């Protein structure tokens, strides 16, 4: 009798733990009695895909493998993407014990720059009594090299008449030149150098009066254009 009572208490405790997990991780299911858990990768062959150093405006391909190491059928119930820049296709979402399948991933870098990451959140269900639902994540990372960038993205003016020279550089080796510069503040004067590879920004007022951004338009020899932003500030603006 004590043994049965002990098993009963253990079962109630387990159910309570499941209810807590279900509340924290996802909305209650309207059908079935699946328990929910989030854990380190079990069915995914890896937790991270690092694509290394890549260029902007490229479509990159990667592959992840799902392996069913259980003695029951496994279903890939859903895959959520953190960004629309990711496309994917799964070979077979329903796996028998011991089977595996591949997820083919296409990732568009677009205008991303620097160290970036997007995440796929996958929901797996092991068929059984009761069913078990597991959440796993796959991170896609890369260092995206910008096609062009300003030698600095922020200027700080200490006094009127101060001039800064900003160069246009291309880590990816794409030949860009300055085409135009826009700044709403009349306290700043901007001039594009004769070679169109640098600009001179001069502070001619006392305060930027809220206009703390200049917009730079540059283009390649093939007429592909790109917008860059330059942040401006003065001691008066810093104290606000």
Q: What is the CA radius of gyration of the chain?
A: 28
User: Which tokens sit at 151?
Assistant: 């030698």
125 and 229 together in one domain: no
Q: What angle do CA 74, 39, 96 make, to 5 degrees?
A: 10
User: Which tokens sit at 34?
Assistant: 């699946």
User: Which tokens sit at 72?
Assistant: 């029951």
Question: Is residue 76 one of the residues assigned to a domain?
Answer: yes
Question: Is residue 24 one of the residues assigned to a domain?
Answer: no
Q: Can you give the residue range of the structural domain that contains 213? A: 149-238
141 and 195 together in one domain: no
How many domains, in total, are found in the chain? Answer: 2
76 and 174 together in one domain: no
Round to whole Å and give the CA distance between 93 and 97. Answer: 13
Question: Is residue 21 one of the residues assigned to a domain?
Answer: no
Q: What is the pLDDT along the chain (240 residues), one digit of tens a residue?
A: 444 334 333 333 333 333 333 322 333 344 444 444 445 448 999 999 999 999 888 899 999 999 999 889 999 999 999 999 999 999 999 999 999 999 999 999 987 878 999 999 999 999 876 778 889 999 999 998 877 777 887 888 888 888 888 887 777 677 777 777 777 777 888 888 887 888 888 888 766 655 566 777 776 665 566 677 778 777 655 544
Model pTM score: 0.58
């Amino acid at each position: 009798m004590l043994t049965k009572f002990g098993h009963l208490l253990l079962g109630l405790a387990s159910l309570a733990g499941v209810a807590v997990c279900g509340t924290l991780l996802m909305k209650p299911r309207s059908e079935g009695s699946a328990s929910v858990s989030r854990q380190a990768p079990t069915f995914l062959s890896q937790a991270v895909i690092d694509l290394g150093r890549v260029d902007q405006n490229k479509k990159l391909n990667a592959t992840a493998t799902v392996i069913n190491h259980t003695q029951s059928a496994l279903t890939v119930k859903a895959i959520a993407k953190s960004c629309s820049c990711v496309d994917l296709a799964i070979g077979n979402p329903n796996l028998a014990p011991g089977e595996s399948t591949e997820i083919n991933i296409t990732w568009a870098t677009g205008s991303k720059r620097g160290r970036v990451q997007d995440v796929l959140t996958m929901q797996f269900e092991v068929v059984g009594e009761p069913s078990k639902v597991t959440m796993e994540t796959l991170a896609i990372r890369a260092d995206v090299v910008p096609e062009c960038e300003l030698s600095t993205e922020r200027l700080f003016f200490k006094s009127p008449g101060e001039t800064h020279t900003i160069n246009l550089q291309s880590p990816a080796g794409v030949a860009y030149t300055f085409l135009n510069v826009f700044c709403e503040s009349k306290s700043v004067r901007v001039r594009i150098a004769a070679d169109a590879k640098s600009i001179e920004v001069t502070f001619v007022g006392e305060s930027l009066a809220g206009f703390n951004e200049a917009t730079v338009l540059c283009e390649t020899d093939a007429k592909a254009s790109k917008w860059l932003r330059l942040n401006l500030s003065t001691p008066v603006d810093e104290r606000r």
